[in-house]
Structure formats: structure tokens, C-alpha cells
Amino acid sequence: MAEVQDVSHDSGHLEWETPLFNQAITQFEQALPHAAVGDAVAERLRYPERSLIVSVPVRLD
């Protein structure tokens, strides 16, 4: 059975204040003119309320 650990993050920054998220938002803004997405939906997608970050260990041969 997998072991569950509580992890405390005291870094004080939000997950969406990262270069990776900023790049995703830039790509999102560039794609909006080509997608049939309403203004309200686009605005909602720009500002997440929460995030889920996962780590998947991979063993390469």
C-alpha cells in the first residue's frame, strides 16, 4: 500500500506565479481568437482558484 505524507510548503508564492504558468497564459491568450470560447469562460480560465500538482516518478532504461 502506498504511503501518504503531508507536505508543508512555506515558500509563500502561489503555483500560478511561475514562468510555466505565465507561458501557458500567453499561449491561452494567443489561442482565444481561434476558439469559440465566451468572454466569461475565458476570464474564469485566466484566474484559477486552486491547483493540483502531482509528481510521477519514471524509471528509464
CA atoms of 45 and 32, how far apart (whole Å): 11
Q: Which residues contact 45 (CB under 8 A, 6 or more apart)?
A: 28, 37
Q: How many domains does one find in the chain?
A: 1
- Grid cell, residue 45, equals 480560465
**What residues make up the domain containing 28?**
23-47
In-domain check, residue 43: yes
- Strand locations in the chain (E): none
Q: Answer yes or no: are the C-beta atoms of 46 and 39 closer than 8 Å.
A: no
21 contact partners, CB below 8 Å, separation of at least 6: 15
- Asked if the structure places residue 10 within a domain, the reply is no
Is position 31 within any domain?
A: yes
For each of the chain's 61 residues, which pLDDT tens digit applies? Answer: 667 777 665 555 666 678 888 999 999 999 999 999 999 999 998 888 887 878 899 999 8
pTM of the model: 0.58
